[in-house]
Amino acid sequence: MGCGVEHGPLGAGAVSEISALIASLTREVADFPSPGIQFKDLSPLFADHRGFAAVTDALAEVASGTDLIAGVDARGFLLAGAVALRLGTGVLAVRKGGKLPPPVLSETYDLEYGTATLEIPADGIELAGRNVVIIDDVLATGGTVAATARLLRRGGATVTGAAVVLELAGLNGRDVLKPLPVSSLHTA
Ligand code: AMP
């Protein structure tokens, strides 16, 4: 247990306090959605005002200086919307495949369990020249964040980093994403 914040102005005391709060409000579910997966359900954290406010503030600090917040379907939407309001930016919902009308940019990738497709609109949102940070709830193998970064770059954005609430140790997601800066509020 610990925290993996790599950049941003959070002090060590604030980080360890948030890390402990996240640990206490995470529900562990064994063998979901498939055998061998230890699922981290952050629903209790999101449902707790103190917990949700604390992670929103911490993610906003590490995301400051960017001008668009990309949230990954679906739990990343909750965080990205809240962080965008804190920072005074817009938010981009990175959707699962088949949800957006055409034209879309699309990336298919491997998950810790199975494969998935993510999409963003190819029209109507100007990404060129914008500094975008990616926000999600959990970093596992890094495939989701990597696919999101590819999508955003194909749209012309500069991806400044990724910020997650919880990082799973031992899956090397952070290494897969190098040299992209990754911030996590808690490692388990
Ligand atoms: P990955 O692409 O392997 O980094 O997986 C990250 C995405 O899958 C995130 O959107 C997470 O919500 C979800 N995810 C993967 N593994 C887990 C897990 N063990 N517990 C909770 N969510 C997970």
Instruction: Identify the pLDDT of residue 5.
Output: 46
Which of 144, 165, 184 best tests ligand 1's pocket when mutated (most atoms within 8 Å of CB)?
144
The CATH class of the 13-187 domain is alpha beta
* Residue 102, SS3 per DSSP: coil
Instruction: List all residues whose CB is within 6 A of at least one atom of ligand 1.
Output: 37-40, 72, 75, 111-112, 136-144, 168, 173
User: Does 1 have pLDDT greater than 60?
Assistant: no
Is 112 annotated in the active site?
yes
Catalytic one of 61, 107, 112, 119? 112
Q: Label residue 100 left, alpha or beta by phi (over 0 means left) and psi (-120 to 50 means alpha).
A: beta
- Count Cβ atoms below 10 Å from residue 114 Cβ, excluding itself: 8
How many percent of the chain have pLDDT more than 90?
Answer: 86
Give the number of the atom of ligand 1 that is nearest the alpha carbon of residue 112. Answer: 3
User: Does 130 have pLDDT greater than 80?
Assistant: yes
The full set of domain ranges for the chain reads 13-187
- Separation of CA 56 and ligand 1 centre (Å): 19
pTM of structure: 0.94
The predicted-structure confidence for 61-81, as pLDDT tens digits, reads as follows: 999 999 999 999 999 999 999
User: Does 110 have pLDDT greater than 90?
Assistant: no
